[in-house]
A and B are shown apart, each in its own frame.
Chain A
Amino acid sequence: MIKRPASAPKSSIIDSAFKAFSEHLSQDASIDRGLVERMRALLLEEQDYSAEAIRNALFPENLES
């Protein structure tokens, strides 16, 4: 089976998908603006797609409380 290196960067399709998500999220008034911005920065700028990073973006407050 052909395998891809784990470090492959995102493609333009991924970029479009994440931008669409960011836009979608920002249109939901019930969602905190800070969360919207954190998710946008994570996916489009930092490009950290790990569960840990996403969890921290969703719930930056003390997660163990």
Chain B
Amino acid sequence: MIQVISITIENFRGIKRLKLDLGGKNFAICGPNGTGKSGIVDAIEFALTGSVTRLTGQGTSGISIKEHAPHVDGRKQPRRSRVILEASIPSLKKSITIERNVYTPSAPAIRPDDDTTRAVLEELERHPEFALSRREILRYVLTPPGERSKEVQTLLRLDQIEKVRQSLLKIANSCTAELRTAEAGVTAAKTQLLAVIGGAELRPEALLNTVNARRSVLRLVPLTEIKRDTSLKAGMIDIKKDPEARPTVSKARAIADLTALDGFLQAEDPAVTIGRKEVAVKLTSLSQKPELLRSLRQQEFLKSGLDLLDEALCPFCDTAWDLGELREVIARKLSAAKEANDVRQAVLAVAAPVIDFLTKISALIKNLAAFGEPVVLKPEIAILNRWTSSLESATSGIRTLSNPVATRQMLIESWNRGPDGTDRVMEDIRARVNALPDLSKEDEAREFLTVCQERLERYRSARRTQELWKGRAEIAQKVLSHYSESTTAVLTGVYKSVEQDFSRYYRFINREDEDAFEGKLTPSLGKLGFDVDFYGRGFFPPGAYHSEGHQDGMGLCLYLALMKHTLGEGFTFAVLDDVLMSVDAGHRREVCGLLKLEFPNTQFIFTTHDPIWLHHMMTEQVIKGKSSIRFRKWTIDDGPMLWTETEVWEEIAHDLDSDDVSGAAGTLRRFLEFISAQLADKLRANVEFHADAQYDLGDLLPRVAAIWRELLNRAEGVAKAWGKQDEVTAIKQRQDDFTAKLARSQVEQWAINKSIHYNEWGTFKKQDFTPVVAAFKELLASFQCPTCGGYFYVTPQKGSRESVRCDCSAVTLNLKEPS
């Protein structure tokens, strides 16, 4: 990965033009909400990946990078909306420049444009996780296990493992469903075959005897065994019959088929009776739960939808969708309907004999319909077909639970009756069968062997299909099982390592009271459990007992552990966008310590609206020197505005030129408050403490002036003690200069003379306020090094004051007396 040296942003998002020099070091951007901090995060992400998450993620319908990434006034000129990023690549010890404009976001200009640089950029495009916001941090902590698994796997780039598992699961499920259909086919074919040969079970010797009896009538060689390819009609000659002279239906077979059907309808198996009643009770209960019914219906809809997803557009409204994302959403919804799945399993557990029974009746009715005319007339065939349809609907209704009321009614009231008119149809069919003439023994035998062969073939085919799907279902299940077992073992190892790092990081930042903290990441088929120790009382989900601030801390620790595992030494860069805002001051210091200790080679870019957090980062040396900027406001014309001397004085001058004394006074006051707070900290002024951390100018500037006077006096005394007359002279000159400037600013008279108090500045006339501005500009110069322009500061930051310095060391005032 890279480290950012500088970034130049032009006409991008809310920024007209801004250049930041980061120097490959940690950098902080601080400012109130709406001052343009996130615009910089967007620009970094755009430069490195060509994308902007905030313009492409959820809830961004109708928003595009090309149209909405440029500054609002430059949206017609996307070529001029660009980001130039200079970076170093530590692993290659080289520097690169990436320039990307909004018009061609996927075609950056890269210098040097060679294979190694391109490879680094491609790696970055694959790792947009370098930018992390607070919202995203909580994803790792508070999401349900199934979703957390996806988020974490995405971060660890393991989503392909889950994708393969999902595919194997889908294949195994579809094989099981095919096997179930094939088994029903075997049941139907067997029932039809048994109807012709008689008996309750299909036994080879019984079939052989029955067949050989008919073959004997036809003087055919008896069969010795029935193999998979044995023809029952072997040697039989088909005689073309005169349809006018000979009946085409065997009376005996028709009676056998009718008898078989009557037998099932009139003497129900006790197991079926119990099963029907149990299923009916469950269906009654289900029909009283509309929410559950809705969930079940939705499941069926989603299942069908999942199978049909192969188009780039929604079939309802033609909206373009991301197929992968949509599949994931649907799969999540399906697995979420746990109660619906439980009910379905409970019904299926008692429904097996009922489904078997309905399948058999349906097969026997189809036998009957197959006679055709003259035994079964066309209108009667239609009625029989409606009957089989209703039986198949009942079977489907039990499996899908889609219409519990109708399915229950069928099972209780009309399971053994067809649609209206069926009784009459059956009577008529019986009458016609009874009226059929008896065939000769030879014709009867020939007809028997022909039909028996047909039904045997159907049965054999059904068995082959069943065996095929049984084998496939077993293989698919075995492979899925091996896959789940082996990948879970690998992932467990990965998560163990992440878990150890996570726990160590969290203990570090909470060592005061959670030094025995442990976190547990538990992977299981497509899910990732996450539980944390709560003060030795047990392991609970992170959101159960820990505060929001602690959860924020956990999110950051988990993110850091995951990134470390994913990138190792390559984790050289991360953007933490407004993270840790609910973490308290004490723990923020520890977070700074953690980043310094564990990630000394990673460049962190922080954004925050909280100046105190920025201050923590600076005092803890996570942010050093000038590696931060503070935005004071944002305007549509100028973008983010910094608290820099040049900008502020220019703005005040502009306001005064426009006779806007009130505006100039407001800017001067806020700027002086900002600088006074900085100086109070740098010079270690004694400011009255406010618990709300709100300090106005009157609280700060007089105390800054007082400490500066005291420091100069002390420095003079020390210089005298060391016998350094030149320094004494220089300090005296500085004291005189400061006294004069302070007098002109009238700061010391604020408490005495209200008419010159800063609260009244807004009422001044331009000619009265202009000298005030000049006086404060001069006064601030007293605290600045004339060489580097930096404000003076006392060292060390705590304990006995030893010196006053500036960044370039051109000015050093010794405060330490000779011992």
B 156-176 to A, binary, CB cutoff 8 A, 1 in contact else 0 = 111111011011101100000
Q: Which residues of A contact B167 (CB under 8 A)?
A: 49-51, 54-55
B160 touches A49 (CB 8 A): yes
A24-B485 in contact given A1-B136, A54-B171 (Cβ < 8 Å): yes
Q: How far is the CA of A10 from the CA of B170 in the complex (A)?
A: 22
A 8-41 to B, binary, CB cutoff 8 A, 1 in contact else 0 = 1111011011101101110010111001000100
Count of residues in A whose CB is under 8 Å from the partner chain? 35
B475 touches A1 (CB 8 A): no
B 168-187 to A, binary, CB cutoff 8 A, 1 in contact else 0 = 10110000000000000000
Whole-angstrom distance between the Cβ of B805 and the nearest chain A Cβ: 43
Measured CB to CB, the nearest residue on chain B to A35 is B475
Whole-angstrom distance between the Cβ of B525 and the nearest chain A Cβ: 14
Query: Which of A16, A17, A55 gathers the greatest number of chain B CB atoms within 10 Å?
Result: A17
Interface hit among B190-198, B218-226, B486-494: B486-494
Interface hit among B121-129, B687-695, B722-730, B776-784: B121-129
Partner of A14, one of B53, B128, B136, B160: B160
Query: Is B116 positioned at the interface, with any CB of A under 8 Å from its CB?
Result: no
B487 touches A20 (CB 8 A): yes
A10 touches B487 (CB 8 A): no
B482 touches A59 (CB 8 A): no
A13 touches B58 (CB 8 A): no
Q: How far is the CA of A13 from the CA of B278 in the complex (A)?
A: 49
A49-B164 in contact given A5-B125, A21-B486 (Cβ < 8 Å): yes
A2-B53 in contact given A31-B479, A58-B479 (Cβ < 8 Å): yes
Q: How far is the CA of A51 from the CA of B159 in the complex (A)?
A: 14
* Contacts of B48-105 to chain A: CB distance below 8 A: 51, 53, 56-58
A3 touches B486 (CB 8 A): no
Q: Which residues of B contact A51 (CB under 8 A)?
A: 166-167, 170-171
B156 touches A55 (CB 8 A): no
Partner of A4, one of B126, B168, B170, B485: B126
Q: How far is the CA of A25 from the CA of B566 in the complex (A)?
A: 27
Q: Which residues of A contact B171 (CB under 8 A)?
A: 51, 54-55, 58
A31-B475 in contact given A1-B136, A20-B489 (Cβ < 8 Å): yes
B 119-149 to A, binary, CB cutoff 8 A, 1 in contact else 0 = 0000001101101000010010000000000
Measured CB to CB, the nearest residue on chain A to B133 is A2
Q: How far is the CA of A5 from the CA of B136 in the complex (A)?
A: 18
Query: Is B468 positioned at the interface, with any CB of A under 8 Å from its CB?
Result: yes
Whole-angstrom distance between the Cβ of A33 and the nearest chain B Cβ: 13
Partner of A3, one of B128, B168, B494: B128
Query: Is B536 positioned at the interface, with any CB of A under 8 Å from its CB?
Result: no
Q: How far is the CA of A65 from the CA of B491 in the complex (A)?
A: 37
Q: How far is the CA of A43 from the CA of B476 in the complex (A)?
A: 16
A58-B475 in contact given A3-B128, A51-B167 (Cβ < 8 Å): yes
Whole-angstrom distance between the Cβ of B284 and the nearest chain A Cβ: 39
A11 touches B566 (CB 8 A): yes
Whole-angstrom distance between the Cβ of A16 and the nearest chain B Cβ: 5
Q: How far is the CA of A18 from the CA of B139 in the complex (A)?
A: 27
Query: Is B118 positioned at the interface, with any CB of A under 8 Å from its CB?
Result: no
Q: How far is the CA of A49 from the CA of B324 in the complex (A)?
A: 13
Q: Which residues of A contact B129 (CB under 8 A)?
A: 2, 4
Q: Which residues of A contact B489 (CB under 8 A)?
A: 20
Partner of B490, one of A6, A9, A20, A28: A20
B131 touches A13 (CB 8 A): no
Whole-angstrom distance between the Cβ of B587 and the nearest chain A Cβ: 25
Interchain Cβ contacts under 8 Å between A and B, 6 examples: A1-B53, A20-B487, A24-B483, A28-B482, A49-B163, A51-B171
- Which 9 A-B pairs rank lowest in CB-CB distance, beginning with the nearest? A51-B167, A24-B486, A17-B490, A11-B157, A20-B486, A21-B486, A1-B57, A17-B487, A24-B482
